[in-house]
Amino acid sequence: MKLNEWLNNEIPNISKSLESINHSHFFIDKTIGFAGKEKIYKILHQFRSSLFPGVYEKYPIDETKVNIIIGNNLRTAALELRDLIKKALVNNTDIQDKSQDECEECKIKATDIVIKLINKFPEIRQNLQTDIEAAYNGDPAAVTTEEILLSYPSIEAITIHRIAHELYEMHVPIIPRIMSEYSHQRTGIDIHPGAEIGHHFFIDHGTGVVIGETCTIGNHVKIYQGVTLGAKSFSLDEEGKPIKGLKRHPNIGDNVVIYAGATILGGDTTIGHDSVIGGNIWLTESVPPFSKVYNIQPSPTIKNGN
Amino acid sequence: MKLNEWLNNEIPNISKSLESINHSHFFIDKTIGFAGKEKIYKILHQFRSSLFPGVYEKYPIDETKVNIIIGNNLRTAALELRDLIKKALVNNTDIQDKSQDECEECKIKATDIVIKLINKFPEIRQNLQTDIEAAYNGDPAAVTTEEILLSYPSIEAITIHRIAHELYEMHVPIIPRIMSEYSHQRTGIDIHPGAEIGHHFFIDHGTGVVIGETCTIGNHVKIYQGVTLGAKSFSLDEEGKPIKGLKRHPNIGDNVVIYAGATILGGDTTIGHDSVIGGNIWLTESVPPFSKVYNIQPSPTIKNGN
Amino acid sequence: MKLNEWLNNEIPNISKSLESINHSHFFIDKTIGFAGKEKIYKILHQFRSSLFPGVYEKYPIDETKVNIIIGNNLRTAALELRDLIKKALVNNTDIQDKSQDECEECKIKATDIVIKLINKFPEIRQNLQTDIEAAYNGDPAAVTTEEILLSYPSIEAITIHRIAHELYEMHVPIIPRIMSEYSHQRTGIDIHPGAEIGHHFFIDHGTGVVIGETCTIGNHVKIYQGVTLGAKSFSLDEEGKPIKGLKRHPNIGDNVVIYAGATILGGDTTIGHDSVIGGNIWLTESVPPFSKVYNIQPSPTIKNGN
Amino acid sequence: MKLNEWLNNEIPNISKSLESINHSHFFIDKTIGFAGKEKIYKILHQFRSSLFPGVYEKYPIDETKVNIIIGNNLRTAALELRDLIKKALVNNTDIQDKSQDECEECKIKATDIVIKLINKFPEIRQNLQTDIEAAYNGDPAAVTTEEILLSYPSIEAITIHRIAHELYEMHVPIIPRIMSEYSHQRTGIDIHPGAEIGHHFFIDHGTGVVIGETCTIGNHVKIYQGVTLGAKSFSLDEEGKPIKGLKRHPNIGDNVVIYAGATILGGDTTIGHDSVIGGNIWLTESVPPFSKVYNIQPSPTIKNGN
Amino acid sequence: MKLNEWLNNEIPNISKSLESINHSHFFIDKTIGFAGKEKIYKILHQFRSSLFPGVYEKYPIDETKVNIIIGNNLRTAALELRDLIKKALVNNTDIQDKSQDECEECKIKATDIVIKLINKFPEIRQNLQTDIEAAYNGDPAAVTTEEILLSYPSIEAITIHRIAHELYEMHVPIIPRIMSEYSHQRTGIDIHPGAEIGHHFFIDHGTGVVIGETCTIGNHVKIYQGVTLGAKSFSLDEEGKPIKGLKRHPNIGDNVVIYAGATILGGDTTIGHDSVIGGNIWLTESVPPFSKVYNIQPSPTIKNGN
Amino acid sequence: MKLNEWLNNEIPNISKSLESINHSHFFIDKTIGFAGKEKIYKILHQFRSSLFPGVYEKYPIDETKVNIIIGNNLRTAALELRDLIKKALVNNTDIQDKSQDECEECKIKATDIVIKLINKFPEIRQNLQTDIEAAYNGDPAAVTTEEILLSYPSIEAITIHRIAHELYEMHVPIIPRIMSEYSHQRTGIDIHPGAEIGHHFFIDHGTGVVIGETCTIGNHVKIYQGVTLGAKSFSLDEEGKPIKGLKRHPNIGDNVVIYAGATILGGDTTIGHDSVIGGNIWLTESVPPFSKVYNIQPSPTIKNGN
């Protein structure tokens, strides 16, 4: 068999080549994420099951079990997350020369972070309740809150964001980004875990929404599909590399509505509260409260075919 | 172990807190959807296997088995769907005080709906054949109809829509929306199950397309990515809540083409047949048949770098 | 049981009807894709595991196993892919009257293609390394290259594209399109396998990006979400069917940046190197090198609410 | 890595060696059973689900679904079993030079066998009901028939035997033996599919029971663990090979009880009806009806320790 | 297709026939066990994971997680077991006319049983430790206690027995028998959950061991493969049905050894403490303490072949 | 909820209790076997797939893939087995104070063992071919060698034994025993990995067979169900613990047949070549070659019922 022979003879060389490329660019077995990515997805699943018991369980559960099932999910997820955060911290700190097992400090910090996160869960859940209400009041097509919980991508995205954001705030490396990208993949909504988002938040339809790392968003904000809250440009350092960590994305006030396809850019761009930003608007400057921003649509040329 | 102790001591309190938040806002074990969501996905899978035998089976099937496999899929799905529809009806009707098991009327109605749905399958399949043809004729990149069936999100979206729409028409609560959101998640195409869509329908690329609940779309319509067929605004009732159920989305005539990124809004906006709507057009008013609607593009400023 | 009886009595007829519709339109068991789709996904998984060992393995792997695991993945995938390509070739060639088992020529050609593809893997991996670098330098939010590899849809999309494109170049039917649609579904980025893309390629956020079949893209190109590199229109033959295979999509020079929502159309549209295309630009004509193309934004009307 | 290198260099040789040993002794891809074994297990599962609806389903089923679920199980299993029987027949007949696809005669015969088997199912189910009764009346530890159905290996063994025996009677090669060994593995009861067994059959505990190919067993027979109904010796042909197909195992009359560890050997050994065979009896000759066969136990020496 | 047609036409009749046989003999959806069997296996798995943390987990666990993992397993299993016991009680009591949901008394009793069972777990675990020691001291082939825990069927059988026996003692219907049969299937050791077994219990090899419902077994007892502790015969009532619940099986004193294949029968047969019962012994009468019971082996005839 | 409260309040205490019992008796996370048991099962699966390609694959494989699939299975299994052996060696050696990662010597030894084992595979496969032949010639019920391979427990048991025995010979701790118990569970045949077994070996039916650690068995030996090759008794050391490692089990010469239920005991018991040992024989002394050993069966009392 020609293919068999080639596979036996040549694959070892190609494997060696691929192996060496990988080794020269990063260390294969020193990162959290490689095998940990699926663990993070599972933790998210358990956290969401705790927040909305019944929604993510494989089997119907009855009322008498809710308390125990929440507890089990939280406990299991907590143990796993502690390990992953510890690993991420070890990789990321100056103490890289210390071996994983010895970084007692990382373990303590990781434990601390997990406890703080879970202590926030009742508050997160309260906020999510306001998000459900916002969806109900913001979409005439929504008939019941049950429908929202079961079929609105907005709820999935904001649930994951509110968890990821807490970890981002406590300077957990990489894990929050893996969480937000998981949400992005499933909903088409890309919220960087750094973004600060108030209560009663709702994104209708959602596909194509991008919300940047240094955004702040007030309460009662409603956003439609295809909206970008992005950076105007970014500064390079002397070597031409981007300077990380600067404020680059806009601030959105309370009670703002942003219609589909609008683009708002820049770290010093502030949308005043109670404003409405029309569809397809391109905005790189601040507007005061109570503004209504619409394009004077260039009247489209309409050619009658007859 | 500090974490262990905290988990043992504090998790019961946090669980209790989360439990009570959930109880005060909706009933954990009274809805269809919670554990039923995966069942609906499975039913969709079985329905699609019936419509396109072989495509969604895990193993290759040969011709002699097609008839039996279609039948088995339909039968299995029918039993499950009947139960789910019954449950959804019980939750949704005035007769909420009656227990699940007693609502004989709901069961009869659910049976009726399932039978009507499956009786429509040959017609649905015929329509899907026209959608495949529309894709072939509408995309020069399509080499074979096989390719379309296997790799075009449009076919997935319109298949699920044509099923969900039938259920919507028969006033089945929540289930059609779970179906359409499943499709949205996988294709980036968000078609509300209420939309009425003619034959020979094709969406190219698809990501970001939004088609609202009260849209009507004629035959031979072609839509590109990022198109919104949405509402202009919506009316609030006296309490400031949106009034549900009004006509809010546009009507698209036969043989209309809508290019990428176009936005057409409003329940009294009608695109006359045989019209072409250009890319990025923002349209909130009706246009007559045979119209060609293009922006006079504001000529972009082109600065030569040298 | 009324439903039971109906299912027993009527389903055979509906099955027969669905079966006959399927038979009259295409042959159920003559195509690669039906049951082969999941195999292609698995092959992609194995190829990506070979290119980035550790990332897609279910369990953490240590350094001493990398070489063997790469080799095993390549070997297993190679055998499967050879069979699938052979099947696709048999279905697609003039020699359709020959049975699958006899088309020795198809088998030889398939073997040849698989060997050529895998021989390209070190080069593909080198190019992907430049894509990772491009992401790091192109996004201030990226803190480590590890983060990019684990959470950037751009890397997933371009990895799959670079594999699918090789198969497209060797005229493998249908399989490359199934690969690219798999990527589209997961990332929202729709790159036709025909597109030619240089090194150091980066797509930020990505949702809604469409890159057409006959695009050529230079090195160091950066694209944001919602960008379309599409066709202006396409020619029909005498029967009104689209003429397949013509050059329809633009050429993008080296070092070009294209901001979110821009649309560049047409096979003779060329963006000169080192150009910047602004957000939401609609461009159907060529621009010279070093151009900066911005809309003079129609100043939006800002109505103060007070 | 020393191991890596050895694996790359030497495994191809060892593979080649193992491959050639396998090729010289039997044909790798010409048999039913290799990949078909799991299919047979699945068919057994579906058949048993049809006979005792609810017992082997993963989810609880309610009464209204029973009929359809039985039907679906039978239909799915029938299609698979037809293919497997056809394959077994092709391998086993003189027409081995004909290719699988052409052996129309085998296909017709296989279809015929499947139909005959399933037509027997109501009768098989009736017999199994008598087996359940026999267990209830034969074991004081059995409290309910439900308990018997759920926790007695006898029922599992005799269910599978009654199916396998029908196939054996219709001269289906190999498949009945795979079925009986599946049962043997799970219950420790080894009944050759050739054995003829009457109604009201019960094996208590069961482990170690062996019932040979040419046994006949009457009605209302009860057997305990460790009983062998075997061959005395077997005849060799001129080449010293065993002569296959001769009557080698005993006949057990109606209403016979055989206690634990008894051994009854020989094709012309007949246990007359209404006999009782004591524990550990070694019997190679016939006994008349109504016999009670006990060892005069050699009184064991009992040494008092004191 | 002949088979297709037959399946469509005749299967409904055969289904109906099978359905009616099932309905006339027991109620399809009124029992615990049907769909509950797998739940019981899962509960056993969780209980065994709690007793020997790490042994039955899919992934290696480290010391810091042991406490939480034990707790989670116990909690999850407790909830499930409570439901199953409740269901079994409802089916089994006089109050059968009350619906499942109303039998508050059953629920209270089930809760009580679960709590009592789990409270016994530390004691059960202590006893199992003595069983491990007994294996180590009773088998020269055992090199480490780890080896015993990982590869001795005796440990599996006695672990499950000690759990099942507690439920039997609290008069839980059917569930203990499903547990013991699960163990029987996996180990070949058939211990009825009614048997009372002391500490330091060891069964070597185990296949074919049968221990009856009303056995009592002292401490430090060792048993080899193929041993039966059974009933001599059993009494029938006036209708010829076995009288259930009588003492039928022997009593084994402390420090007794019973060698392979021995059979000890009868409810009034007592083996005095510190006795040794030889291989293949058939014993239906009591022996005093410190007895050594051996067959005077009938010297086998040895015919020299030459 | 009473149960909920109890679970929250009391489970932590019970967990703590169970945890401490486990900690005082052995170290939870220091052993190979806990999570490794399933890995060993998988390795066995891969080894058996290499020896009999096609039999244990989930999908049918064709001839052209055999070589590569064997190689992949061997390579994957080799890597895993090396790790497990290393771990077992670390736990078992004097160098227990060295950490896992540092025991370079253990790693070298483990690599060496794996290479030696796999180098033996062609020889093992040759021996297994003789075992298949022995089954064919030893059982008149065997119609084809294919049937033997697919449905005879003897082949499963001897395949696993021949692998486990090689590891035992190289002093690998615990892993061989886990392998042999896996085989015991599935076949009812309990062969200690220490036993030395010649070629052309066949066990008919098999359930209940026990073959002790220090047995030697010649070529062309045939054994029936329920045969024990065991120890007479074993010596205790001064503390009353069994002395491990002594010769305790019999030697069986070439061409010996041992019928069902026979028991042969003792380390200095030798069955001379070409002997036949009758059913239920109890033998604790040697017999010369060509012996035929039968019980003069105590003629059973046969009471005619009439």
pLDDT digits over E108-127, tens only? Answer: 999 999 999 999 999 999 99
Backbone angles phi, psi at E196, to 5 degrees: -100, 120
Cα distances (Å, whole numbers) of residue D3 to A7, C47, D8, E253: 19, 23, 9, 56
Is D31 within the bounds of a domain? yes
What residues in E contact C15, CB-CB < 8 Å?
Answer: 8
Query: Among the listed ranges A67-76, A87-96, C149-158, F207-216, which one has the minimum average pLDDT value?
Result: A87-96
Is A203 within the bounds of a domain? no
Mean pLDDT of the B149-170 span: 96
Interface list for A 151-180 with B (CB within 8 A): 151-153
More confidently predicted of A290 and A61: A290
Is B5 within the bounds of a domain? no
C11 pLDDT tier (thresholds 50, 70, 90): confident
Least CB-CB distance to B64: which of E1, E67, E71?
A: E1
- Which amino acid belongs to residue B112? D
Is E20 within the bounds of a domain? no
pLDDT value, residue B230: 95
User: Are B71 and B170 found together in one domain?
Assistant: yes
Instruction: Give the closest-approach CA distance of A76 to chain E in angstroms.
Output: 7
Q: Please provide the DSSP assignment of B101-152 as one string.
A: GG-HHHHHHHHHHHHHHHHTHHHHHHHHHHHHHHHHHH-TT---HHHHHHH-
Query: Among the listed ranges D245-259, F36-50, F226-240, which one has the minimum average pLDDT value?
Result: F226-240
What residues in A contact F8, CB-CB < 8 Å?
Answer: 67-68, 71
Nearest CA in chain E to C58: E59
E262 Rama class: left (phi>0) / alpha (psi -120 to 50) / beta: beta
CA distance D276 to D120: 32
pLDDT value, residue A26: 56
pLDDT digits over D197-256, tens only? Answer: 999 999 999 999 999 999 999 999 999 999 999 998 777 778 777 787 789 999 999 999
E141/F174 CB distance under 8 A: no
Q: Rg of chain A over CA atoms, in angstroms?
A: 23
Cβ contact B300:C263 at 8 Å: no
B58 pLDDT tier (thresholds 50, 70, 90): confident
Q: Which two tokens stand for residue D142?
A: 């059995």
Inform me whether the pLDDT recorded for C143 exceeds 60. yes
C298/A295 CB distance under 8 A: yes
User: Are E150 and E259 found together in one domain?
Assistant: no
Interface list for E 55-74 with A (CB within 8 A): 64-65, 68-69, 71-72
A27 pLDDT tier (thresholds 50, 70, 90): very low
Beta strands B301-303 and C263-265 are unpaired
Over pLDDT 70: what percentage of chain A? Answer: 90
Element (H, E) at C263: strand C263-265
pLDDT value, residue C27: 46
Alpha helices in chain A (DSSP H): 2-25, 33-51, 66-92, 104-119, 121-138, 145-151, 153-169, 175-187
Mutate to test the interface with E, among F92, F177, F247 (most CBs of E within 10 A): F177
With vertex at residue A80, the alpha carbon angle to CA A74 and CA A86, rounded to the nearest 5 degrees, is 125
Over pLDDT 90: what percentage of chain B? Answer: 59
Backbone angles phi, psi at C204, to 5 degrees: -90, 135
Is B8 within the bounds of a domain? no
Least CB-CB distance to E71: which of B8, B68, B71?
A: B8
pLDDT value, residue E95: 46
pLDDT value, residue E27: 46
C21 pLDDT tier (thresholds 50, 70, 90): confident
Inform me whether the pLDDT recorded for B90 exceeds 90. no
What residues in B contact A50, CB-CB < 8 Å?
Answer: 15, 18
What residues in F contact B8, CB-CB < 8 Å?
Answer: 12, 15
Provide the sign of the torsion angle of the four alpha carbons C85, C88, C92, C96, taken in this order. Answer: positive
User: Are D106 and D138 found together in one domain?
Assistant: yes
Instruction: Give the closest-approach CA distance of E47 to chain A in angstroms.
Output: 15
Least CB-CB distance to A72: which of E64, E65, E72?
A: E72
Nearest CA in chain A to D13: A8
Domain boundary among F132, F159, F188: F188
Instruction: Give the closest-approach CA distance of A188 to chain C in angstroms.
Output: 6
Beta strands E222-223 and E257-258 are parallel
Instruction: Give the closest-approach CA distance of D143 to chain F in angstroms.
Output: 29
D8/C71 CB distance under 8 A: yes
pLDDT value, residue A95: 46
Least CB-CB distance to B300: which of C242, C281, C289?
A: C281
Query: Among the listed ranges A100-114, A233-247, D36-50, F88-102, which one has the minimum average pLDDT value?
Result: F88-102
Inform me whether the pLDDT recorded for A48 exceeds 90. yes
Instruction: Give the closest-approach CA distance of F62 to chain D in angstroms.
Output: 6
pLDDT value, residue B27: 46
Establish if F141 touches chain E: CB-CB under 8 angstroms: no
Domain carrying residue B247: 208-305
User: Are B158 and B70 found together in one domain?
Assistant: yes
Nearest CA in chain F to D290: F305
Per the document, the length of chain E is 306
Least CB-CB distance to F213: which of E111, E121, E141?
A: E141
Is D10 within the bounds of a domain? no
Query: Among the listed ranges B63-77, B151-165, C234-248, which one has the minimum average pLDDT value?
Result: C234-248
What residues in A contact E79, CB-CB < 8 Å?
Answer: 64-65, 68-69
**Residue D266: CATH number of its domain:** 2.160.10.10
F183 pLDDT tier (thresholds 50, 70, 90): very high
User: Are B136 and B33 found together in one domain?
Assistant: yes
What residues in B contact C177, CB-CB < 8 Å?
Answer: 147, 150-151
CA distance D202 to D157: 10
User: Are C180 and C221 found together in one domain?
Assistant: no
Establish if C100 touches chain F: CB-CB under 8 angstroms: no
Instruction: Give the closest-approach CA distance of F269 to chain B in angstroms.
Output: 56
Over pLDDT 70: what percentage of chain B? Answer: 90
Establish if A126 touches chain F: CB-CB under 8 angstroms: no
Instruction: Give the closest-approach CA distance of C3 to chain D in angstroms.
Output: 9
Least CB-CB distance to C1: which of D3, D4, D64?
A: D64
What is the reported pTM?
Answer: 0.93
CA distance F161 to F166: 9
What's the total number of domains in chain A?
Answer: 2
B74/C294 CB distance under 8 A: no
Is E55 within the bounds of a domain? yes
B77 pLDDT tier (thresholds 50, 70, 90): very high
Instruction: Give the closest-approach CA distance of B75 to chain E in angstroms.
Output: 12
Establish if D26 touches chain E: CB-CB under 8 angstroms: no
Q: Which two tokens stand for residue D194?
A: 């050739």
F207/D212 CB distance under 8 A: no
Cβ contact E93:E32 at 8 Å: no
Inform me whether the pLDDT recorded for C149 exceeds 60. yes
D305 pLDDT tier (thresholds 50, 70, 90): low
Spatial neighbors of F277 by CB under 8 A, at least 6 apart, are F256, F257, F258, F259, F262, F264, F271, F283, F287, F293
User: Are D100 and D226 found together in one domain?
Assistant: no
Cα distances (Å, whole numbers) of residue D180 to D103, F58, F205: 28, 21, 12
Give chains near B: 3+ CB pairs under 8 A: A, C, D, E, F
CA distance F43 to B195: 55
Give chains near F: 3+ CB pairs under 8 A: A, B, C, D, E
Establish if A8 touches chain F: CB-CB under 8 angstroms: yes
User: Are D179 and D217 found together in one domain?
Assistant: no
What residues in E contact B64, CB-CB < 8 Å?
Answer: 1, 3-4
For residue A236, the 8-state DSSP code is: B
Establish if D111 touches chain B: CB-CB under 8 angstroms: no
Mean pLDDT of the F116-121 span: 96
What residues in D contact C71, CB-CB < 8 Å?
Answer: 8
**Residue D138: CATH number of its domain:** 1.10.3130.10
What residues in C contact A3, CB-CB < 8 Å?
Answer: 78-79, 82, 111, 114-115
Establish if C8 touches chain E: CB-CB under 8 angstroms: yes
Mean pLDDT of the A262-286 span: 94
Instruction: Give the closest-approach CA distance of D119 to chain B in angstroms.
Output: 18
Least CB-CB distance to F147: which of D177, D185, D278?
A: D177
User: Are E154 and E250 found together in one domain?
Assistant: no
Over pLDDT 90: what percentage of chain E? Answer: 59
What residues in C contact D64, CB-CB < 8 Å?
Answer: 1, 3-4
Q: Which two tokens stand for residue F248?
A: 């305790």
More confidently predicted of C149 and A217: A217
User: Are B135 and B284 found together in one domain?
Assistant: no
User: Are E59 and E178 found together in one domain?
Assistant: yes
Mean pLDDT of the F100-109 span: 80
Mean pLDDT of the C279-289 span: 92
pLDDT value, residue A261: 93
Cβ contact E302:F293 at 8 Å: yes
Q: Say how many C-beta atoms besides its own lie within 10 A of residue D127's C-beta.
A: 19
F1/A71 CB distance under 8 A: no
User: Are B104 and B45 found together in one domain?
Assistant: yes
pLDDT digits over F269-294, tens only? Answer: 999 999 999 998 889 999 999 999 98
